[in-house]
Amino acid sequence: MIEPEFTPNPNFPAVLGEDQTGVAAALIDRMARGDGSALTELYGMWSPILLGASVRMLGDRHEAEEIVQDAFVRMWHRSVDYDPSQSPPFAWAFAVMRGYCIDRLRYRHRSKRDCSRVVPIHLHAPTEESEDPRVMMKDDWRRVRAALQILPPDERECLELAVFLEYTHSEISAHLGTPLGTVKNRLRRALDKVRNHLSRYEF
Q: What is the pLDDT of residue 2?
A: 40
Q: How many CB atoms lie within 10 A of CB 117?
A: 11
DSSP helix/strand/coil, 16: coil
Q: What is the pLDDT of residue 141?
A: 62
| Best CATH choice for the domain 13-135 from the list 1.10.1740.10, 1.10.260.40, 3.40.50.10240, 3.30.70.3000 | 1.10.1740.10
Q: What's the rounded Cα separation, in Å, for the pair 126 and 137?
A: 13
Q: What is the pLDDT of residue 112?
A: 54
Q: What is the pLDDT of residue 140?
A: 62
DSSP helix/strand/coil, 141: helix
Q: How many CB atoms lie within 10 A of CB 126?
A: 9
Q: What is the pLDDT of residue 21?
A: 76
Element (H, E) at 94: helix 89-111
Pinpoint the residues of the chain covered by CATH 1.10.1740.10.
13-135
Q: Which of 17, 1, 13, 54 is nearest to 175 (CA)?
A: 13
Would you say 18 and 149 are in contact if contact means Cβ atoms under 8 Å apart? Answer: no
Per run of 10 residues, the mean pLDDT along the chain (length 203 residues) is 44 54 90 95 90 86 93 95 86 88 81 50 40 49 75 87 79 87 92 83 55
Q: What is the pLDDT of residue 76?
A: 95
Residue 184 CA to its chain's centroid (Å): 20
Q: What is the pLDDT of residue 102?
A: 86
Q: Which of 89, 119, 117 is nearest to 104 (CA)?
A: 119
Pinpoint the residues of the chain covered by CATH 1.10.10.10.
137-203
Q: What's the rounded Cα separation, in Å, for the pair 74 and 59?
A: 22
Q: What is the pLDDT of residue 149?
A: 81
Sign of CA dihedral 2, 68, 170, 192: negative
Q: What's the rounded Cα separation, in Å, for the pair 135 and 130?
A: 9
Determine phi and psi for 53, rounding to 5 degrees: -70, -40
What is the CATH T-level fold of the domain 137-203, as seen in this structure? Arc Repressor Mutant, subunit A (1.10.10)
Q: Which of 39, 37, 47, 38 is nearest to 12 (CA)?
A: 47
Would you say 160 and 105 are in contact if contact means Cβ atoms under 8 Å apart? Answer: no
Would you say 108 and 178 are in contact if contact means Cβ atoms under 8 Å apart? Answer: no
